[in-house]
Amino acid sequence: MYDVVIVGGALSGASVAILLLTEQPQLRILIVEKTQAFSRRVGEATVEVSTYFLRHQLGLTSHLNHSHLVKNGLRFWFANEKTKTLADCSEIGARYLSRLPAYLVDRAVLDEEVLRRALTLGAELWRPAAVRNITLEPGGIQRVTIKRGDLELLVETRWIVDASGVAAVLARQENWLKPNLEHPTTAVWSRWSGVKDFDSPDLLRKYPEWSRECYGIRSTATNHLMGDGWWAWWIPLKSGDVSIGVVFDERRLDWPKGGSLGDRLKSFLLQHPIGNELLAEAQWQEGDVHWRKHLPYYSTTFVGDGFALVGDAAAFLDPFYSPGMDWISYTASSAAHLILAQHHGEPTSPLIKRVNDDFTRSYSRWFDAIYRNKYDYMGEFDLLGLAFTMDVGLYYLGVASQPFLRGPAALREPYFATGPSTPFYHWMRTYNRRFARMAQVRRARGQLGRRNNRHRRMVKGFAFETSTIVTVLRAAGGWARLELLEGWRSWFGRTKSP
């Protein structure tokens, strides 16, 4: 008999074990992990909330500094028919190094380290082992059938934590899992060797004016190649490999057919001047090319009296802005808090209702405010530049600042779950919709990408200070000017996008 059985031993599941055992070392926790060793996976960039969680809650600062790369913000590259070289591309990014820590992580290395720490605290591990069935009994004893080697074992526990990732074992079993059909996106990705460095001396000599525009480091940013209805991530890893993948809106882009998936990925990326400059002699790694269709989904239930869903087992929305590990931080913290509350004899019904309401609202509002139809203007330098500045500025002021100012309790309040966030949700939803409409009108008029060559938006940086408020307000002013210059075309009636 266990107090908690955790399905999945990677970051989500092992994090819950660490949070629980740090508070209650006597808890009997079993982690069931299906793989003999973790493989690399997407989700290789942290942002400020997840970095706080990894450092302050899990104690991983030294590991992150030694085994992974410090991330230097976000950087975006745009192209049109006039861009012939890397230096011709319009660019959005930081002029200086980032003020708050974030990391580019090798997930296989990180997952193994977090699991190791959970075991050091006293968790038990069955590996490799597979969960065959879960029988839920609200408020009672949960039963899990586990195949371990040639044996099939029945395990009893008070709590089940589903951290099975996109397998979403419990949500699929209970028919809670729903696709987000309003956001049809697909991802294709691989790790690469032989990729040219953004900060290599030959590029700095070849494009001296371009090199002088950035005082920080371009190569260890999360770089993004941008196009109409698609974007690509570009993340270097400590091993020397580079993770590169494309995410596209299935309504906007037909993925090339014919040939191997790796060849098609490379051919697609070479069409962008950045890809052509840096990937011409690079090679995608055999056996490490992946495709995932219809990315976003969610569970209609997140917790109950005896179970909790965490990380990708609970929901997935979009990899743009790297929110995945923030979601892990919130779901793992909330799951641990609920289990500890029951262990201490506190009433759980109000807490269960609040967690389900908060995460349902958070997923819906985060989609509406940030991602709905964003792929319509992904490839527009000026539109995405304004949205990026307001998105990240408001994230700093209203989201990322909270755990630093209030402590771990803020990690139980996901995006847009609280009352004070409601006006900002409406603001963000409004400008996102307006930029999407402007792009739709541009597309109908054949004017997409007109500012995608030789323009730069070099941001000084974001912080938990009034300077970020000023940055956001300036971007809001830029939005107002755009409305007067061209937004009026979509104020009345509706222009159909072809």
Residue 495's pLDDT band (boundaries 50, 70, 90)? very low
Identify the pLDDT of residue 76.
Answer: 98
User: How far is residue 334's CA from residue 130's CA, in Å, rounded to a whole number?
Assistant: 25
Q: Rounded to an integer, what distance in angstroms lies between the CA atom of residue 464 and that of residue 452? A: 31
The whole-angstrom separation of Cα 188 and Cα 205 is 33
Could you tell me which residues come within 8 angstroms of residue 66 by beta carbon, excluding any fewer than 6 positions away?
Answer: none
494: pLDDT strictly greater than 80? no
- Beta carbons of 452 and 89 less than 8 angstroms apart: yes
Q: For all residues of the chain together, what is the average pLDDT?
A: 96
In whole angstroms, give the CA distance from residue 123 to residue 380.
Answer: 49
**Three-state secondary-structure class, residue 137:** coil
* Every domain range in the chain assigned CATH 3.50.50.60: 1-68+105-180+295-372
Establish whether the linkage from the previous residue to 128 is cis, with ω within 30° of 0: yes
- Residue 40 has what pLDDT? 82
**Tens of pLDDT along 255-279?**
999 899 999 999 999 999 999 999 9
Question: Across residues 196-215, what is the average pLDDT?
Answer: 96
For the 1-68+105-180+295-372 domain, the top CATH level (class) is: alpha beta
- Alpha carbons 60 and 407: distance in angstroms, whole number: 17
- How far CA 165 is from CA of 34, 172, 313, in Å, comes to 12, 12, 5
Looking only at the bridges linking them, the beta strands covering 151-162 and 2-7 are parallel
Contact 188, 255 (CB under 8 A): yes
**pLDDT for position 493:** 61
- pLDDT tens, position by position, 379-418: 999 999 999 999 999 999 999 999 999 999 999 999 999 9
Average pLDDT over residues 16-37: 97
Q: Tell me the mean pLDDT in the region 12-29.
A: 98
What pLDDT is stored for residue 497 in this prediction? 43
Q: Boundaries of CATH 3.30.9.100 in the chain?
A: 73-101+181-292
Residue environment code for 288-321, b if the CB has 16+ CB neighbours within 10 A, otherwise e: ebbeeeebbbbbebbbbbbbbbbbbbbbbbbbbb
Can you tell me the mean pLDDT for 326-333?
A: 98
Q: Average pLDDT in the 19-37 region? A: 97
Q: What top-level class would CATH report for the domain 73-101+181-292?
A: alpha beta
The pLDDT value given to residue 43:
81
Task: Identify which of 272, 342, 270 has the alpha carbon closest to the alpha carbon of residue 303.
Answer: 342
Mean pLDDT of 339-368: 97
Structure pTM?
A: 0.95
Mean pLDDT confidence for 112-120: 98
